[in-house]
Each structure stands twice: as structure tokens, then as C-alpha cells.
């Protein structure tokens, strides 16, 4: 059981607004390959090479094979204790939200309600001509480069590719959450993809206590107030347990009406 500093527990116990910022690392223990991790035959491609419009224009078949592969992998996995711990945090704190770079929809499948998806969602697709949505069931049944059922246009996954703008609503919510956080948790991200990677320091510059959860140091580690080194699926449930214990002890020490 990891142990936590008194400062971290005290800071979180009295926090009003807490935000969790997640990357591929929180889904690693569910079996979703990270971007910098190995993913079989797809490891020979850098994500930036496939997740962009030029690549799609050049070879839509290849890019769709990659997304079809990821859709199948993600459909076969389950949220892990790291995702679940963030659902419990949403019940524990007055104001709590998840800002995610992940397109795997595992936070919502775990039960998180306030989720800001910065880079889209692999369970959604749309026609590039008329914008008509297409389900995963439809696009995987078609195979190849799926076509729109109403106009015949090319369908693409509803994710943000490199060189593309982030969805404005989600980004605005994420910036507001970062700027108003008492505690900002940066979980399972290498913090190299922008503008998402600017959020942890934005939160710190606005007074948040910045906590990083990762088995490996990242470019962010030197700026974090706390570095909790280890897998999210172990650290986050333990942290929730410590917070619930503290609240129970406080409750016992100061019964209501005390």
C-alpha cells in the first residue's frame, strides 16, 4: 500500500475543487496499449504518422485499419480500478471533473459523469461530406473505408488528428476547470502533446496543488508538487482509501453538532 504525505492528504481533505487530467497510462492496466508503449504490428508507426489528415488522404485504407483495430481492442476491455477510483472521487469532492486525452470512452463506461474529451471519442464517427454520424457497428460491418449511408461520402472517426483544433466547448471547460482547481491530478500522461499538455502548468500557475501519478518521470515531474510513482490502478484506489479514512476519522473526532 503506497503511503501519502500528510501535506497531500490535508490538501485533498480540505479541497473544494479537484480535477483529474488523464492520458493513455490510466487505461494501460485495462489492456489498451499506450502511444509510446508497444502495440504489436502497429508499433512500427508513430501515432503522429497515422492520426492526421494527410495520412488519411494518402492512404485511408491503412488509417481505417488502425482505427478498426483500436475499436476492437477497446471494445474487449473493461475500466480498471484507476478509472473506478475517479468515479469515487466524483462522489467524494464537491466539485470534481475528468479532463481526458483518451478516446477510449473508459471513464464514462466506469461511471464518471463530468468528463471533458479533448481528443474525441473512438465510439463516434461521422461523414466528412454531410456530417451524418455513423455507429461503430455500421463502420466495422462495412470494413475498408466506410461510406455514409445517406450521401455516400467518406466516414472518419470522430477524433482530433494532429494539426486539427480541439473541440472548443471541451477545451473551454478544461481551461476553466484547470484555472479553478485546488488540486490538479496529472495521471498517466507523458505530457508532450499540446495544447493539452499546457493544462497542468496552467492549473499550478492558478494556485492548484499539482500531483503527478506515473510509473516513470515525465517533462512535468520537476514542476509537480507531488510525484506519486506507480501504476494508476494501484495509486488512485489507495489514495481514495486514505481520503475516506481521514474523513471518517475527522467525522469521529468532530461529530455533527460538535
Nearer to Zn ion, 126 or 171 (CB): 126
Nearer to ligand BV8, 97 or 233 (CB): 233
When binding is defined by CB under 5 A, the residue of 33, 60, 111, 153 that contacts Zn ion is 153
Q: Three-state SS for 4?
A: coil
Do 243 and 12 form a contact (C-beta atoms < 8 A)? yes
The C-alpha atoms of residue 124 and residue 234 are separated, in whole angstroms, by 30
From the list Zn ion, ligand BV8, none, which binds 239 (C-beta under 5 to 8 Å, kind-based)?
A: none
Cβ neighbour number for residue 12 with a 10 Å cutoff: 23
Q: Which residue has the cell 477510483?
A: 85
Q: Does 128 interact with Zn ion (rule: CB under 5 A)?
A: no
When binding is defined by CB under 5 A, the residue of 10, 130, 192, 249 that contacts Zn ion is 130
Helix (H) or strand (E) holding 246: helix 232-253
In sequence order, which ranges of the chain are alpha helices (DSSP H)? 6-13, 25-28, 47-50, 53-58, 60-75, 81-92, 106-110, 136-142, 168-179, 199-205, 232-253
Closest approach, Cβ 118 to ligand BV8, in A, equals 7
Nearer to ligand BV8, 10 or 192 (CB): 192
Could you list the beta-strand ranges (E) of 63-107: 95-100
Closest approach, Cβ 251 to ligand BV8, in A, equals 31
Do 157 and 124 form a contact (C-beta atoms < 8 A)? yes
Give the DSSP letter of residue 164. Answer: S
Catalytic residue among 69, 83, 95, 119: 119
Is residue 83 part of the annotated active site? The answer reads no
Nearer to ligand BV8, 164 or 245 (CB): 164
Do 170 and 118 form a contact (C-beta atoms < 8 A)? yes
Closest approach, Cβ 234 to ligand BV8, in A, equals 8
Q: Which residue has the cell 459523469?
A: 113
From the list ligand BV8, Zn ion, none, which binds 8 (C-beta under 5 to 8 Å, kind-based)?
A: none
From the list ligand BV8, Zn ion, none, which binds 171 (C-beta under 5 to 8 Å, kind-based)?
A: none
The C-alpha atoms of residue 224 and residue 108 are separated, in whole angstroms, by 27
| C-alpha 156 chain-centroid distance | 21
Binding residues (CB under 6 A) for ligand BV8: these are: 23-26, 28-29, 34-37, 47-48, 51, 101, 103, 119-120, 159-160, 162-165, 188-190, 192-196, 213-216, 218, 231-233
Query: Which cell is 118 given?
Result: 479533448
When binding is defined by CB under 5 A, the residue of 95, 132, 223, 241 that contacts Zn ion is 132
Residue 160, C-beta contacts closer than 8 angstroms, at least 6 positions apart: 118, 119, 120, 166, 167
Nearer to ligand BV8, 100 or 181 (CB): 100
From the list Zn ion, ligand BV8, none, which binds 148 (C-beta under 5 to 8 Å, kind-based)?
A: Zn ion
Q: Does 147 interact with Zn ion (rule: CB under 5 A)?
A: no
Closest approach, Cβ 47 to ligand BV8, in A, equals 6
For the chain, how many residues are written? 258
Enumerate the active-site residues: 119
Judged by the rule CB under 5 A, the positions of this chain that interact with Zn ion are 127, 129-130, 132, 148, 151, 153
Amino acid at each position: 500500500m503506497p503511503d501519502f504525505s500528510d501535506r497531500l492528504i490535508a490538501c485533498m481533505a480540505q479541497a473544494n475543487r479537484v480535477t483529474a487530467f488523464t492520458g493513455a497510462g490510466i487505461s494501460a492496466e485495462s489492456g489498451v496499449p499506450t502511444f509510446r508503449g508497444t502495440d504489436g504490428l502497429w508499433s512500427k508507426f508513430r501515432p503522429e504518422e497515422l492520426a492526421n489528415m494527410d495520412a488519411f488522404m494518402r492512404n485511408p485504407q491503412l488509417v481505417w485499419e488502425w482505427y478498426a483495430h483500436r475499436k476492437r481492442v477497446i471494445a474487449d476491455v473493461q475500466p480498471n480500478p484507476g478509472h473506478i477510483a475517479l468515479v469515487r472521487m466524483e462522489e467524494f469532492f464537491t466539485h470534481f471533473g475528468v479532463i481526458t486525452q483518451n478516446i477510449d470512452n473508459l471513464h464514462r463506461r466506469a461511471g464518471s459523469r463530468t468528463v471533458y474529451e479533448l481528443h474525441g471519442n473512438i465510439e463516434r464517427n461521422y461523414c466528412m461530406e454531410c456530417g451524418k454520424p455513423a455507429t461503430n457497428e455500421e463502420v466495422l460491418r462495412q470494413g475498408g473505408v466506410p461510406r455514409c449511408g445517406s450521401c455516400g461520402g467518406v466516414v472518419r472517426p470522430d477524433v482530433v488528428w494532429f494539426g486539427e483544433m480541439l473541440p472548443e466547448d471541451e477545451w473551454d471547460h478544461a481551461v476553466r476547470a484547470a484555472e479553478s482547481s485546488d488540486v490538479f491530478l496529472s495521471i498517466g500522461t507523458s505530457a508532450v502533446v499540446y495544447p493539452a499538455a499546457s493544462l497542468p502548468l496552467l492549473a499550478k500557475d492558478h494556485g492548484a496543488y499539482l500531483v503527478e501519478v506515473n510509473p516513470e518521470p515525465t517533462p512535468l515531474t520537476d514542476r509537480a508538487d507531488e510525484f506519486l510513482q506507480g501504476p494508476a490502478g494501484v495509486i488512485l484506489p489507495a489514495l481514495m482509501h486514505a481520503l475516506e479514512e481521514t474523513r471518517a476519522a475527522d467525522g469521529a473526532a468532530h461529530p455533527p453538532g460538535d
